Amino acid sequence: MRAIVAPYDALLMPTVPVVAPRLRDLESEDAYRDVNLLMLRNPSVANFLDGCSISIPCHDLGDAPVGLMLIGQTNGDTRVLAIAAAIESLVAPK
């Protein structure tokens, strides 16, 4: 994987694949389990690849919060944080 992502500054993807559900929709254990697994799917990519990541809020004010996740290589924390700082104002909630 390191060779595949080496030419890129960071990988970009949604922090989670769906907007977070309402708490009342998670009352059953089955619903909670299914949604919990779904919400952990995208962040688990960085963990699985032994990378680092950060999530930047990118929703419109008044809408449910969503994030843009940047994923970097192992020990690439400083680089990913610098990239996030550079683009944060472009995607910040408005």
| pLDDT value at 31 more than 90 | yes
**82: helix, coil or strand?**
helix
Cβ 31 vs Cβ 63: under 8 Å: no
User: 72 forms bridges with which residues in the sheet?
Assistant: 52
pLDDT in the model for residue 6: 83
Cβ 59 vs Cβ 65: under 8 Å: yes
| pLDDT value at 94 more than 80 | no
pLDDT in the model for residue 64: 85
Instruction: Work out the pLDDT band at 92, boundaries 50, 70, 90.
Output: confident
Q: Give the whole-angstrom CA distance, residue 18 versus residue 78.
A: 28
Tokens of 20: 């977070």
pLDDT in the model for residue 46: 87
